Amino acid sequence: MTPTDYLALGPLIAMALTAALVMLQIAVRRRYTAAAVICVAGLAAALFCLGPAVVFSTGHATALMAADSYAFFYTGLILLATMATALLGYGYLKKSDGQNEEFFLLLPMAALGAAVIVGSRHFAAFFIGLEILSIALYALIAYPRHRSQSVEAGLKYLVLAAAAAAFLLFGMALIYMATGTMDLVRLATWLSSPATAGRSILLAGTAMLVVAIGFKLALVPFHMWTPDVYQGAPAPVTGFVATVSKAAIAALLVRLFARVDLLANRPLFWIFASVAAASMVTGNLLALRQNQVKRILAYSSIAHMGYLLVAFMAGGRMGAHAVAFYLVAYTITNIGAFGIIAVLSPADGDADDLEVFKGLFFRHPWLAGLFTATLFSLAGIPLTAGFVAKFYLVATGVHSALWGLVITLLVTSGISLFYYLRVVVVLFARPEQEAAEAAPRPAVGFSGALVLATVAILMLWLGLAPGPVLLLIRGIAG
- pLDDT, tens digit, 9 for 90 and up, residues 327-352: 999 999 999 999 999 998 887 778 88
Mean of pLDDT values over 128-153: 89
DSSP letters for 222-275:
S-TTHHHHHHHS-HHHHHHIIIIIHHHHHHHHHHHHTT--TTT-HHHHHHHHHH
CB atoms inside a 10 Å sphere around CB 456:
17
Model pLDDT for residues 365-378, shown as the tens digit of each residue: 889 999 999 999 99
Question: Residue 132 has what pLDDT?
Answer: 94
- Per cent of the chain over pLDDT 90 is 53
- The answer to whether residue 179 scores a pLDDT higher than 70 is yes
Least confident of 43-47, 53-57, 65-69, 383-387: 53-57
N-term to C-term CA, the chain: 26
How confident is the model over 176-185, as a mean pLDDT?
Answer: 83
* C-beta of residue 400 within 8 angstroms of C-beta of residue 263: yes
Centroid of chain to Cα 132 = 16
At 219, is the pLDDT very low, low, confident or very high (cuts 50, 70, 90)? very high
For residue 66, the SS3 value is strand
Per the CB < 8 A criterion, the answer to whether 478 and 316 are in contact is yes
| CA within 13 Å, CB half, 312 | 25
Higher pLDDT, 20 or 316: 20
Phi, then psi, of 353 in degrees rounded to 5: -70, 145
Please say whether the beta carbons of 74 and 247 come within 8 A: yes
How high is the pLDDT of residue 337?
Answer: 93
Query: Residue 98 above 70 pLDDT?
Result: yes
Q: Above 80 in pLDDT, residue 197?
A: no
- Highest mean pLDDT, choosing among 9-13, 39-43, 95-99, 291-295: 39-43
Return the percentage of the chain with pLDDT > 70, whole number: 95
Name 60's bridge partners: 66
Other beta carbons within 10 Å of 278: 17
| pLDDT digits 0-9 by tens, 410-440 | 999 999 999 999 999 999 888 766 555 455 5
Please say if the pLDDT value at position 442 is more than 70. Answer: no
Helix (H/G/I), strand (E/B), else coil: 53: helix
Picking from 74, 153, 142, the residue whose alpha carbon sits closest to that of residue 114 is 74
Positive or negative, the CA dihedral 123, 127, 133, 138 is positive
CA gap 385, 450 in Å, rounded: 19
| Predicted local distance difference test score (pLDDT) of residue 204 | 86
The whole-number average pLDDT for the span 42-70 is 84
Cβ contact 465:390 at 8 Å = no
Picking from 315, 150, 324, the residue whose alpha carbon sits closest to that of residue 237 is 150
Q: Provide the residue ranges of all domains of the chain, joining segments of one domain with +.
A: 3-474
